[in-house]
Structure 1
Amino acid sequence: MSAAAPSRSARRGDFMRSPLVAAALPFVNGGAAGMIATSIIQPVDMVKVRLQLAGEGLSAAARPSPFTITRDIIAQGRFLDLYSGLSAGLLRQAVYTTARMGFFSTFMGKFGTKAKAENRSVTFAERSGASLAAGGLGAILGNPADLALIRMQSDGMRPAAERKNYSSVVNALTRIAKAEGILALWNGCIPTVARAMALNFGQLAFYSETKAQLSAYGAFEGYRGQEAYRNLGASAVAGFFASFFSLPFDFVKTRLQKQTKGPDGKLPYRGTMHCAMKVAKEEGLLRFYRGFGTYYVRIAPHAMLTVLFADWFLQLTKSGSV
């Protein structure tokens, strides 16, 4: 028995170190981490979407707050509405975050190898390039799930007779494709990709760079759990820049993905630029930053949790514990 155990452990270690598994782990770890983070943050994301859609087309519309939206949902006895679209959110993370985290780790591994060979550190430009490319690729793959998420979260804002009452993300995707065509699943893809690239640039590039700078300057040196403090500080910085750069794109994406044809058979917005110009003209430029506080509260913890869980999973898989 004692001889068999090390043999099984050695075989498992060899399997975990195989090239195929090593290449897949950043994708698997990133996707799992994103799904856990989304499960925790989903109510905040729901309120963010309702904030962005409130007063659509009206420059002088009353400005709701995150608290009034949450209070109204709960007061109507619809607490579970805060988790509307969770299945779509999880599918989106399974596709989008799996791709962006995996591609970022892969690209950074290449840059790290190159930097080591040249006896230098990875540059901020290289971190930026890796984050932008990873965000764009992940967004293209995850757009259908993202669209389903917006439709499911905004459905409760419609009059009861006009609600679609999607039962799940599969139901939403199937009905949207059947009613509007398969390409409708990529509505809002351009601002989605732009948002993802902006968010990834702010989140992953600034997180990686801030963490490296904190380590270089010896921040929190001597403190117990110094690495955790650096991660927390870097996540807060990354969360702000991710929110600031990506919110306008997220706003346009939400409007485009929420829209459906009116009684005249036409869509409110013809495309990304038309939506942006129409909102700026009718609702004002500051409307693009409506809900910034809520968006930051949603992005920063999600960024932190995703990175922490990804690091934890990485340690588990490296040690062969799973």
Structure 2
Amino acid sequence: MSNSISVKEAVAVAVPVSTKSSGQKKKQPYPFWLGGVAATIAASITHPLDLTKVRLQATGDKGMIQSLKRTVHTAGYRGLFDGITGTWMRQMSYSLCRFWAYDESKKLLGAGPHAPAWKLALAGGMAGGIAGLVGNPGEIVMVRLQGDFGKPPEKRFNYKHCFDALFRMVREEGSSSLLRGVGPNIFRAVLMNASQLASYDFFKQELLKTKYFEDNIYCHTVASFAAGTVATTVCSPADVLKSRIMTASGKESASTLQVIKTSLRNEGAMFMFKGWLPAWTRLQPTTMLIFITLEQLKNLVDFTRSLREKDSD
């Protein structure tokens, strides 16, 4: 009797283990460049909005609609995509790097599927620091290409495309020009990724714990909407400071600390959230498009892998 029980117990233990080992293979990691592609697609769709934002800062236009009309009037509808190659360069350097570094940072920190928010935020901040440095040249190229036609003709760079901009910057201004503004850019990238990437993962895993959501496009939409709002709020102070420092003329130029002191004295603490709504209007659709596109690309990778497995069987 004892022998028969031991045999049954052995079979009961052995069957699930063998089934698990043969039926559930360890999931392969997704291609490291997937995030860069998703961000490039999203940025291409929202490029006219980003272009308008840059030109509003560089010209005397009073609003988004006026700036859009001016662009169409002077350059036609194709003008809404001026500097698109700079956007592609920026996304395929900065965004590709940040998604890759975020996944690697999560592995390093042991941040699994149900990791606490602080671990996700730390991983996002680490990724932002790396991506902010790597993507700085692309950031400069993108801003210059987008803002060029908003300047008087004699002050334009007249770059042909992103690579022409990159080569001319090095040749005419030296290689150090590629690191211009790298400090504020890294600081903003740390805040952006600690809030945007981490909050998306956090909201997604919290939604999946409820009975109302499954891992589908509806869950991705709600999680990315929440992530865009968090990212806009967290990054608002850095964006305001960066804009005020970069738009100051030579005589008005001041350190970050001086700008903070002056703004606090004249406007109070809420100056850090000036322009929150326009920033949210621009960042929100971009954030949603990035994550929804990324999730669909992952589904496509899973689908192609399943087809290859069927063919091999």
Note whether the superposition's TM-score is higher than 0.5.
yes
**Residues 1:136 and 1:152: Cα distance change in structure 2 (over 3 Å):** same
Equivalent residue runs for 1:214-225 within 5 Å: 214-220=207-213
1:237 aligns with 2:221: no
Structure with larger RCO (C-alpha < 8 A, sep 6+)? 1
Matching residue within 39, 56, 59 for 1:34: 39
**Relative to structure 1, is the Cα distance of residues 236 and 111 closer, same or farther in structure 2, using a 3 angstrom cutoff?**
same
**What does residue range 44-63 of structure 1 map to in structure 2 within 5 Å?**
44-54=49-59
Quote the residue 1:307 is aligned against: 291
Structure 1's 88 and 35: CA in aligned 2 closer, same or farther, altered over 3 A?
Answer: same
Aligned residues: 282
Cα distance per residue 1:201-256 (max 9 Å; x no partner): 221111111111112232347xxxx7221111111111111112223323444566
Amino acid at match of 1:250: D
Which has the higher Rg, Structure 1 or Structure 2? 2
Relative distance call for 1:267 and 1:180 in structure 2 (3 A) is farther
Corresponding residue of 1:94: 92
Alignment partners' CA distance in 2, 1:275 and 1:170: 34
**CA 1:142 to 1:54, structure 2 compared with 1: closer, same or farther past 3 Å?**
same
Q: Aligned partners of 2:168, 2:235: CA distance in 1, in Å?
A: 29
| Mean CA deviation greater in 270-279 or 124-133 | 270-279
Q: Give the CA deviation at 1:54.
A: 4.6
Paired residue for 1:84?
A: 82
Residues 1:133 and 2:126 are matched in the alignment: yes
Q: Look up the match of 1:195.
A: 188
Alignment match, 2:4: none
- Deviation of 1:78 after TM superposition, in Å, equals 4.0
Between the aligned partners of 1:186 and 1:256, the Cα distance in structure 2 is 16
User: 2:5 corresponds to which residue?
Assistant: none
The 1-side partners of 2:160 and 2:263 are apart by 31
Read off the aligned partner of 2:86 and give its amino acid letter: A
Secondary structure of the structure 1 residue equivalent to 2:32: helix
Q: Which amino acid aligns with 1:238?
A: A
TM-score of the aligned structures, taking structure 2 as reference length: 0.77
Which residue is 1:176 aligned to?
169
RMSD, aligned α-carbons? 3.3
Residue 282 to residue 172, structure 1, CA distance change in 2 (3 Å): farther
* Equivalent residue for 1:73, pick from 71, 74, 91: 71
- Taking every aligned residue pair, what percent have the same amino acid on both sides? 27
Which stretch shifts more, 77-86 or 186-195? Answer: 77-86
Deviation (angstroms), 1:45: 0.8
Alpha-carbon spacing, 1:78–1:29, altered in 2? closer, same or farther (3 Å) = same
Structure 1 residues 227 and 198 mapped into 2: Cα distance closer, same or farther (>3 Å)? same
- SS at structure 2 position matched to 1:191: helix
Distance in 1, Cα, partners of 2:246 & 2:84:
17
Question: 1:247: which partner in 2?
Answer: 236
Out of 85-94 and 181-190, give the one that drifted further: 181-190
Are residues 77 and 98 of structure 1, via their aligned partners in 2, closer, same or farther at CA, if it must alter by over 3 Å?
closer
Distance 1:274 1:28, change over 3 A: same
Deviations 1:4-49 (A, max 9, x none): xxxxxxxxxxxxx999xx56x4521111111111111111111122
1:157 Cα deviation from its structure 2 partner: 2.1
> Taking structure 1 as the reference length, what is the TM-score of the superposition?
0.75
Residue of structure 2 in register with 1:4 after alignment: none
What displacement does 1:280 show?
7.2
Q: 1:251-290, aligned counterparts within 5 Å?
A: 251-253=240-242, 269=253, 272-273=256-257, 289=273
List per-residue Cα deviations over 1:117-173 (Å, max 9, x = no partner).
xxxx31111111011111111111000110111111222222122222111111222
Cα 1:267–1:168, aligned 2, differ >3 Å: closer, same or farther?
farther
Counterpart in the other structure of 2:15: none
2-side partners of 1:177 and 1:271: how far apart? 26
Letter of the structure 1 residue corresponding to residue 91 of structure 2: Q
DSSP 3-state at the match of 1:27: coil
Deviation at 1:86, TM superposition (A): 1.1
- Check conservation: 1:44, 1:298, Cα contact below 8 A: yes
Q: What letter is aligned with 1:184?
A: S
Q: Write the deviation string for residues 245-277 of structure 1: whole angstroms up to 9, x where unpaired.
A: 223323444566678xx8xxx686465546666
- Distance in 2, Cα, partners of 1:294 & 1:78: 24
Relative to 1, partners in 2 of residues 1:210 and 1:150: Cα closer, same or farther, differing over 3 Å? same
Distance change >3 Å, CA 153–CA 257, structure 1 → 2: farther
Give, in angstroms, the shift of residue 53 of structure 1.
Answer: 3.7
Q: C-alpha distance in 1, partners of 2:225/2:95?
A: 19
Partner residue in 1 for 2:279: 295
Please state whether the residue corresponding to 1:76 is helix, strand or coil.
helix
- Name structure 1 gaps, 5 residues minimum: 1-16, 56-62
